[in-house]
Amino acid sequence: MYRILVSDKLGQDGLDVLDNTKDATYDMKLKMSKEELLATIPDYDALIIRSGTQVDDDVLAAGKNLRVIGRAGIGVDNVDLRAATMRGVIVMNTPQANSIATAEQTMTLMLAASRHTAPAHASLKAGEWARSQFVGTQLYRKTLGVVGFGRIGRLVTARAQAFGMDVLAFDPYVSEEVGREYGVTLVDLDDLLAQSDYITLHTAQTPETIGMINADAINQMKKNAVIINVARGKLIDEAALADALKAGRIQGAAIDVYSQEPPPADHPLLGLDNVLHTPHLGASSFEAQRDVATQIVEQVLDALRGADYRNAINIPFQAGPEFATTRPYLDLAEKIGTLHSGLATGAIRRVEIETRGEAVEKLVKAIAAALLKGMLSSQIADSVNYINAPVLAEEHGITVTQTQGVATTPDYPNLITCRVKFDDRERVLAGALFAGTQPRIVRINEYHLEAKPEGVVLLLLNEDVPGVVGQIGTLLAAYNINIGEWRMGREEPGKAALSVINLDSEPPAALIDALERIPAIKQVKYITL
């Protein structure tokens, strides 16, 4: 009989499923202190939480029988994922349960902003009858720009099309074939900003997307544009948006999420007449809360039974004693995927993965999932994990092939090789584990080297001529950037050379510009792994 601990409030529909389960029992113990949780958790096989319970390494260490953690919702910031994975504990979430609720909240805000619903309600409630002050705008035949064409973006698109809207989408990692399937026109961000009457954000929050809607972006928008954000508050430079709204540069905004929640009293958007506010209600529907509860219970039960591991975030297979030796290969594959994503100059369309060697021959599917997770995590809004990464790759028009072979070189008895194709170009990366634990990138196209895929990595392609290394080192020192490790590969003396330099901190833009001005250097790129 499986024992399940529910430590945060869970919808009654989920509890009903547990009540009717014959091979599991549960206890609901809310608002426990950490000490109480540490004393309680050893007796349970699974833990179901929301955001209130903090599951750190101490809790995981105490959970001697713990096999599954189920998060009723998307975010798992309150779970130590690495500690859970190293201890063989599966961590699950419910990334799809609130998609419809979020899409509907987007449409609610779009309609309410268009028809001045909130101020009209307040006016009438105050005893006024001011119909002429609240003349609105129809959605029909307007253009909607969807930034981020993942699951929620596609749900919003379908609903907007039902209102007769034309839809543009910006997502550099979605193919034109997918766009045609959904009846949208894929454009670059500048075109979307310039052509859209309404702009809705559904992209992931990454270093690249933080503040993507800034003063420059707003200046490209139509004067009658309305921006809707039910995704992440930090996607918008809120001060710049407030300035534009005050100046009448754009017509309005409807905001459900904020860079700081709850927003402080002096938040620049609060109090503006042309801003519609809601307190992060995207997932707040009875149906979404019901689905979150029932889905996480069913997922946890299936995982305990060994029947299915859907929406498991941390591993692509059943946890077990072999995981300690498997994890380093998955980490290496994910680094290769992240490096491919950072180096690609366009959307990756084809991924060819090959594993060679006894240690990895049975891991090709898990390695492929880990590699795709690394490749996709910074590119799409959907929550990416080892299980859903292959599905998301297919949804985004990426063709993936997997092969396995016999190791042919004694230097690398276990080798992971990945070739990707983009913009009529291709790139090959290969990685290996030294001593079964130390990841190295051993090939980048025709260049062979042994570089550490960790931290801030500076890549330079240069002519193999005297003095280049000294010039690079001098510049790094001038900007107080310390070198952790420097690896170089070259085709043959006097031709091109590739340097992979591990830095202790991120290089400033001025340093990158200075490096690019060195005559012998042909290309500069830095990536954080």
Any idea which residues carry the catalytic annotation?
232, 261, 280
Which residues 6+ apart lie within 8 Å of 190 measured at CB? 220
Tokens of 479: 């900007």
262: cis peptide before it, omega within 30°? Answer: yes
- Count CB-CB contacts under 10 A for residue 390: 19
Chain centre to alpha carbon of residue 278: 24
Partners of residue 24 on adjacent β-strands: 2
Tokens of 522: 């042909």
Instruction: Give the span between the Cα atoms of 301 and 307, in whole angstroms.
Output: 9
Query: Of 225, 245, 251, which Cα lies nearest the Cα of 168?
Result: 225
Instruction: Give the span between the Cα atoms of 333 and 363, in whole angstroms.
Output: 11
Instruction: Give the span between the Cα atoms of 281 and 2, in whole angstroms.
Output: 35
Tokens of 196: 């859209």
Instruction: Give the span between the Cα atoms of 262 and 234, in whole angstroms.
Output: 13
Tell me if 46 sits within 8 A of 2, measured CB to CB.
yes
Instruction: Give the span between the Cα atoms of 245 and 221, in whole angstroms.
Output: 12
Instruction: Give the span between the Cα atoms of 441 and 173, in whole angstroms.
Output: 25
Q: DSSP letter for 264, please.
A: P
CB-neighbour burial class of residue 35 (10 A; exposed 0-12, middle 13-18, buried 19+)? exposed
Tallying the residues shown for the chain, one arrives at 529
Which amino acid is it at 502? N
Which amino acid is it at 425? R
CA distances 139 to 115, 142, 162, 167, 439, Å, are 10, 5, 10, 11, 53
Q: Residue 509: helix, strand or coil by DSSP?
A: helix
Instruction: Give the span between the Cα atoms of 351 and 417, in whole angstroms.
Output: 10
First to last CA, the chain: 43
